[in-house]
């Protein structure tokens, strides 16, 4: 990306404020919500000055400015937009795998831009949300009316950009024709919506100005199919300007007159091959062959000699040349002047045009949302003033849109009391991240005014969606993967509110087991206990120790992603149910990823030994570990007093035993391999020297 440096003095607040006051024709910026917002005024002023200087015009179409407060919309920071893949994918798979692509059925450029704005800034005003949903429902209900509206909108050009070009002085004659064609659709669109009851559709009808004066002006003045370049002439319609019509008559008749001169000169000179021609250098001239040059009349004036021909002119030809060529130049001058005047008159109606463009873009988005809802079987969500979030048979809108496999729906229930903190365990690739994302996407879709992929959804109005999903680093700023994870988690812990929705996926997995488990445990308790930050939280984890939180935290619940083991195979059911998972099936996922069978078999052997050591070797040691003094390897120094400390101590103790078991059994498995090798030796076939070398080799490999 190329950056253009701007001098510091251009950011001076008073200068920027004066520029904005001049642009909007007002005496104060308080009406725009910019009172005491110095940085915003400076930024807006610099942008406006840059537009004026680069475009060399006043940018008169910029007639308003909006200041966005966080409280004005559902806040989605850059991290959340990336993790939810709203407009871009994390994997670089392209725009086709984003929520925007799954939802975009708009038919105009301005509608597509507005849909993106609604998605990135969903509303938090329940009245506004309900108005959008009512309009979508009305269009959803009547396929005939919806199809009619969308067909008319397809004939509408990008009015917002057309208005910009008109005010910048760069609009062509074809742009004005496109503007007229777009405005011609407005009467039919208003007629199609005339019986609509939703207030938002009625507002669209009121604000979509048919602008008969502008349409009449363009239809009367501009040709239906004007040339791309002014030099080709024909931009202004016949009958609009008498002087131009007269010059056109001369220009059109000139060809007939020149043809008459050619016929007459052939007869007078007796030269059958005589031609009257034209080029940009000599204008009109008479051309005869060398063989006929002796018969040329005496009054002919020589203009040019060629290898096989001679070129001449006559007083009569000169006179007509001046008329014809002068007419073309004069016509170009008149057409240029008239077009500039027409464009300026259209520019005077900028505010009306912008209001119409806004109304049509909103209609395009509403019709698009209705169309997608019909295609994908979305339903209208229900908003309420309580804190319950209930989704019945919810689906992920992105996966459902791109996959040919039927999506497995899931139910979800949350509130701010008994089901505030949901701990989700289950296998890798089982769908934990999918559940997290689809919950957030359903809430987001609902607050932007869309139907949602679910059989039923009862939702509160959220103020913010927070996510901590996946692994990423920021090496340019010296931040490791774990540092990025902790920074994002810190932002959530400091700023979440009881009206927020938090998605946490694998907190603490980027560091050592003890550290990660301790951090995940503490984060979970903080989000549950803090009165200011106790938001609805979906907490996906492979730390199975954390499921004990549900036994001591009244607002925590355990959920699991179900799997079935059948004949040595693991079948993913992608079903969310209450309860806790017993293991993560990582080796099965490794098999699906294509690891060699020998590696998988060895991994199963190592896992079996680790599990055996945890269950058998350390069974008697568990009591001693629980009673160990502070600083012991089981990690009891992390425990707090009371029930919470006991639970954390038990969890850390199991993690410590598992870690110690891992150290012992990993060494043991190497030595076990040597023992297996010894058992397989055929001693009878070995010579003394071979046996000696074999023993030395085994000795060197012992751990």
What's the pLDDT tens digit per position in 325-350?
778 888 999 999 999 999 999 999 99
d(CA 434, CA 397): 10
Q: Reply yes or no on domain 384-595 having CATH 3.40.50.300.
A: yes
- Mean pLDDT, consecutive 10-residue stretches, the chain (703 aa), reads 74 84 82 81 84 72 75 90 90 75 96 97 96 98 95 97 91 96 97 95 96 97 91 91 89 80 92 89 90 91 92 88 80 94 95 96 98 97 96 96 91 96 87 93 98 98 90 51 84 93 86 79 90 91 87 93 77 87 76 84 78 52 46 40 52 55 48 69 79 78 60
C-beta of residue 503 within 8 angstroms of C-beta of residue 412:
no
Q: For residue 461, what pLDDT is reported?
A: 97
d(CA 659, CA 271): 111
C-beta of residue 405 within 8 angstroms of C-beta of residue 361:
no
Q: For residue 637, what pLDDT is reported?
A: 38
Q: For residue 311, what pLDDT is reported?
A: 94
**∠ Cα 367 368 372 (to 5°):** 115
> Three-state SS for 194?
coil
Question: What angle, rounded to 10 degrees, do the helices at 513-529 and 481-495 form?
Answer: 10
Helix (H) or strand (E) holding 536: strand 536-540
**∠ Cα 464 68 122 (to 5°):** 40
C-beta of residue 434 within 8 angstroms of C-beta of residue 503:
no
Fold for the domain defined by 104-211+350-376? MutS, DNA mismatch repair protein; Chain A, domain 3 (1.10.1420)
In 3D space, the residue among 363, 365, 350 whose CA is nearest the CA of residue 64 turns out to be 350
Q: For residue 502, what pLDDT is reported?
A: 96
Q: How many CB atoms lie within 10 A of CB 326?
A: 13
d(CA 460, CA 219): 51
d(CA 223, CA 236): 6
384-595 and 1-67 share a CATH fold: no
Q: For residue 625, what pLDDT is reported?
A: 44
Q: For residue 474, what pLDDT is reported?
A: 44
Q: Running DSSP on this structure, what letter comes out for residue 499?
A: T
Is the torsion defined by CA of 40, 43, 48, 51 positive or negative?
negative
Q: How many CB atoms lie within 10 A of CB 209?
A: 19
> Three-state SS for 618?
coil
* Beta bridge partner(s), residue 279: 283
> Three-state SS for 635?
coil
Tokens of 314: 């006559």
Fold for the domain defined by 1-67? Nucleotidyltransferase; domain 5 (3.30.420)
Q: Running DSSP on this structure, what letter comes out for residue 404?
A: S
d(CA 394, CA 219): 52
Which region holds residue 121: left if phi is over 0, alpha if psi is between -120 and 50, else beta?
Answer: beta
* Beta bridge partner(s), residue 82: none
Q: For residue 309, what pLDDT is reported?
A: 93
C-beta of residue 352 within 8 angstroms of C-beta of residue 211:
yes
Q: Running DSSP on this structure, what letter comes out for residue 511?
A: S
Q: Where are the domains of the chain?
A: 1-67, 104-211+350-376, 242-344, 384-595, 612-703
d(CA 40, CA 24): 16
Class of domain 242-344: mainly alpha
Q: For residue 611, what pLDDT is reported?
A: 67
Q: For residue 623, what pLDDT is reported?
A: 47
């Amino acid at each position: 990306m190329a950056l253009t440096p701007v001098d510091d003095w251009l950011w001076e607040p008073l200068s920027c404020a004066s520029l904005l006051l001049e642009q909007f024709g007002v005496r104060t910026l308080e009406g725009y919500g910019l009172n005491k917002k110095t940085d915003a005024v400076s930024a807006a002023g610099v942008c406006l000055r840059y537009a004026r200087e680069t475009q060399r015009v006043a940018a008169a179409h910029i007639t308003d400015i909006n200041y966005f407060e966080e409280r004005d919309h559902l806040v989605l920071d850059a991290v959340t937009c990336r993790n939810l893949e709203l407009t871009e994918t994390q994997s670089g798979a392209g725009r086709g795998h984003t929520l925007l692509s799954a939802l975009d059925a708009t038919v105009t450029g301005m509608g597509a831009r507005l849909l993106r704005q609604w998605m990135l800034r969903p509303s938090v005003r329940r009245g506004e949300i309900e108005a959008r949903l009512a309009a979508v429902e009305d269009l959803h209900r009547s396929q005939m009316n919806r199809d009619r509206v969308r067909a008319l909108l397809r004939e509408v050009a990008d009015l917002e950009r057309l208005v910009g070009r008109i005010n910048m002085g760069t609009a062509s004659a074809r742009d004005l024709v496109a503007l007229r064609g777009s405005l011609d659709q407005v009467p039919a669109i208003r007629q199609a919506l005339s019986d609509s009851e939703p207030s938002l559709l009625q507002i669209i009808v009121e604000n979509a100005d048919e602008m008969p004066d502008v349409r009449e002006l363009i239809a009367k003045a501009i040709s239906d199919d004007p040339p791309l370049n002014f030099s080709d002439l024909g931009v202004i319609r016949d009958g609009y300007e008498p002087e131009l019509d007269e010059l056109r008559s001369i220009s059109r008749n000139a060809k007939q007159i020149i043809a008459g001169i050619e016929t007459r000169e052939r007869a007078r000179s007796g030269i059958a091959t005589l031609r009257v021609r034209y080029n940009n250098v000599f204008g009109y001239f008479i051309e005869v062959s060398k063989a006929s040059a002796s018969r040329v009349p005496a009054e002919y004036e020589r203009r040019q000699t060629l290898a096989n021909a001679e070129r001449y002119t006559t007083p009569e030809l000169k006179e007509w040349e001046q008329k014809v060529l002068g007419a073309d130049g004069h016509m170009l001058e008149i057409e240029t002047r008239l077009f500039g005047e027409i464009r300026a008159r259209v520019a005077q109606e900028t505010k009306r045009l912008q209001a119409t463009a806004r109304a049509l873009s909103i209609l395009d988005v509403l019709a698009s949302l209705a169309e997608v809802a019909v295609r994908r079987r979305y339903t209208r969500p229900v908003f309420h003033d309580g804190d319950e979030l209930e989704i019945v048979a919810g689906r992920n809108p992105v996966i459902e849109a791109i996959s040919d496999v039927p999506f497995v729906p899931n139910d979800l229930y949350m509130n701010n009391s008994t089901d505030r903190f949901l701990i989700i365990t289950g296998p890798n690739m089982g769908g934990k991240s999918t559940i997290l994302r689809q919950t957030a996407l359903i809430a987001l879709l609902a607050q932007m005014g869309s139907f949602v992929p679910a059989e039923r959804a009862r939702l509160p109005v959220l103020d913010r969606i927070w996510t901590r999903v996946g692994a990423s680093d920021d090496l340019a700023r010296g931040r490791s993967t774990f540092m990025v994870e902790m920074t994002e988690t810190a932002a959530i812990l400091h700023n979440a509110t009881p009206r927020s929705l938090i998605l946490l996926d694998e907190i603490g997995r980027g560091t050592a087991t003890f550290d990660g488990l301790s951090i995940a445990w503490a984060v979970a308790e903080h989000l549950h206990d803090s009165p200011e930050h106790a938001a609805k939280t979906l907490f996906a984890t492979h730390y199975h120790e954390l499921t004990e939180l549900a036994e001591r935290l009244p607002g925590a619940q355990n959920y699991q992603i179900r799997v079935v083991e059948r004949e040595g195979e693991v079948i993913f059911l992608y079903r969310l149910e209450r309860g806790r998972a017993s293991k993560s099936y990582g080796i099965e996922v490794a098999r699906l990823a294509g690891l060699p069978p020998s590696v998988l078999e060895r991994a199963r052997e190592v896992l079996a030994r680790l599990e055996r050591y945890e269950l058998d070797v350390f069974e008697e040691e568990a009591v001693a570990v629980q009673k160990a003094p502070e600083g012991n390897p089981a990690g009891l120094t992390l425990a707090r007093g009371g029930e919470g400390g006991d639970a954390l101590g038990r969890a850390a103790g199991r993690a410590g035993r598992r870690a110690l078991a891992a150290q012992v059994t990993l060494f043991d498995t190497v030595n076990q391999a040597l023992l297996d090798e010894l058992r397989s030796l055929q001693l009878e076939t070995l010579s003394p020297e071979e046996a000696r070398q074999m023993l030395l080799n085994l000795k060197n490999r012992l751990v």
